[in-house]
């Protein structure tokens, strides 16, 4: 298992354990803060999952002409891609059946 995969797995496990706190109603006065934390947790899980997906399909990603490169022209590793760029790449290359995706919105 690569260092990246181990790190993603570790993060996802700890976030999954912390998700149990959302089973209970928030404390009085903490509703907005808990909502921010919930969205942050969800965003981190999604970002980690997208990076893991690109790591699993690394060969395809590395050979794709639209894969992200740094200023030197070297391939950006999935772990170093920012969420917004991940979102654009997945919209363009992975989530191509827009009608199917609309079923989930």
Q: Check residue 7 and give left, alpha or beta (phi > 0: left; psi -120 to 50: alpha).
A: alpha
**pTM of the predicted model, to two decimals?**
0.70
What pLDDT does 38 receive? Answer: 84
Classified as helix, coil or strand, 75 is: strand
User: How do residues 42-100 score in pLDDT, each as one tens digit?
Assistant: 888 899 999 999 999 999 999 999 999 999 999 999 999 999 999 999 989 888 777 66
Domain definitions of the chain by residue range: 3-102
- Alpha carbon distance 7, 48 (integer Å): 10
User: How do residues 19-37 score in pLDDT, each as one tens digit?
Assistant: 677 778 877 888 888 889 8
């Amino acid at each position: 298992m690569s260092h990246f995969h181990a790190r993603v797995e570790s993060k996802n496990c700890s976030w999954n354990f912390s998700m149990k706190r959302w089973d209970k109603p928030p404390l009085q006065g903490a509703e907005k803060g808990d909502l921010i934390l919930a969205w942050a947790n969800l965003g981190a899980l999604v970002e980690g999952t997208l990076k893991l997906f690109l790591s699993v399909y690394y060969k395809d990603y590395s050979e794709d002409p639209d894969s992200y490169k740094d200023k030197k022209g070297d391939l950006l590793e999935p772990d170093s891609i920012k969420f917004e760029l991940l979102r654009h790449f997945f919209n363009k290359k992975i989530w191509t059946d827009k009608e199917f995706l609309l079923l989930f919105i």
